[in-house]
Amino acid sequence: MSAGPYNYSYIFKYIIIGDMGVGKSCLLHQFTEKKFMADCPHTIGVEFGTRIIEVSGQKIKLQIWDTAGQERFRAVTRSYYRGAAGALMVYDITRRSTYNHLSSWLTDTRNLTNPSTVIFLIGNKCDLDAQRDVTYEEASKFAEENGLMFVEASAKTGDNVEEAFLETAKKIYQSIQDGRLDLNAAESGVQHKPSQPGRNNLSNDQQGNKDNCAC
């Protein structure tokens, strides 16, 4: 086991939301494993994924909460929005109903996260253009009206998946640089690890040992 995975300076919490079957878990899987999961089981409550990315030379660990889309889990998943730095709101471009429900998902997101949370709208399954039910223009207009970032992606082909996750991270990182996002706020969804190798090593070492011995 190498120290590599722990070598990051920020943790961002993401939450993926949207109707059942729009491909939330598949997007996550594509992003973390770079693979398409053909028959993905229904998510129960919430599942997690992590990946470390790099933004402006900073290593950032994305802690992604992939929520269940089923209506019966709605109350449960509402508990999980809190403290998300990024929210990926997903609909299926081949099913209009999933697009129509976006306003309800958006309301939940706005109510349950903080104002600095970056909301990214993803129109999934763009590989199925022949069955398209929602035009790009329409969704783009909706995103613009609501101040959302927007992209059409495909969890199957991997188109724009990486971009959606990375753009969100960039926007969050920008907010941190601008000072719009307060790192010290409990619900910012960002954890900063001000680890500076070579400093305080000794004291840390001693403390660590002490902790291990004291029961």
Partner 1 sequence: MESSDSDNFESADEDFEFEKFEKGSNTTKHHHPVPKSDTAKAAILIPKAPPSTDVNQNKKETSESETLTPEIVNSDKSKSEGSLIKDDEGNKQYQTKAVPQLEVAAKDTVKHDVEIEACDNSRGSNVTGDAQDPDDDSENLWNEGEGWGVDDESDNTAIPNVQGKEKMEASPKTAPIEEDAWSNEGWEIWESDSKEIMIPNPAKTDNQSNLDPKWKGWSNWGVSSILSTATQSVSTLTSSVSQGLSTVASTIESSIGAPEPAELALSNRAEKKSLPAEITSSDHNNKNSMGFGLSNIGSLVSGVSKLVESTSTKVISGGLDTLETIGKKTMEVIQEGDPGLKKKRAFLNLEGEKPVLSQVLREAKEKAEQENKARQEKHFAKKVNYESIFDDHQGLVHLEALEMLSKQCDMKLQLLFESSSGDALMEIQETLAQVKELCELPNEEDEEQLSLEELKERLASAVKELDVNITYDRLISMWEETECWLNNVNLSICDENELHQQAVETLAQLTAIAVEQFHKAGELLLIKDHHSTADEADSLVQLTTTLTSLIGIAASKFSDKMNCKAVGDSNKESVNSLITNIFYEAANSSSYIQDAFQLLVPVIEMGAV
Given a contact cutoff of 8 angstroms between Cβ atoms, the answer to whether 90 and 66 are in contact is: no
Quote the least distance from Cβ 45 to partner 1, whole Å: 3
Pick 38 or 213: Cβ nearer partner 1: 213
Residues that bind partner 1 (CB under 8 A): 1-3, 5-6, 44-46, 48, 63, 65, 72-73, 75-76, 78-80, 82, 191, 193, 195, 197-198, 200-201, 204-205, 207-208, 211-213, 215
Give kind and range of the element (H or E) at residue 119.
strand 118-124
Pairing of strands 58-67, 46-55: antiparallel
What is residue 181's DSSP assignment? S
Pick 157 or 208: Cβ nearer partner 1: 208
The Cα 172–Cα 77 span in angstroms is: 22
Given a contact cutoff of 8 angstroms between Cβ atoms, the answer to whether 197 and 3 are in contact is: no
Quote the least distance from Cβ 134 to partner 1, whole Å: 29
Pick 83 or 123: Cβ nearer partner 1: 83
Quote the least distance from Cβ 67 to partner 1, whole Å: 10
Pick 177 or 195: Cβ nearer partner 1: 195
Q: Hunting for tokens 């053909």 — which residue is that? A: 38
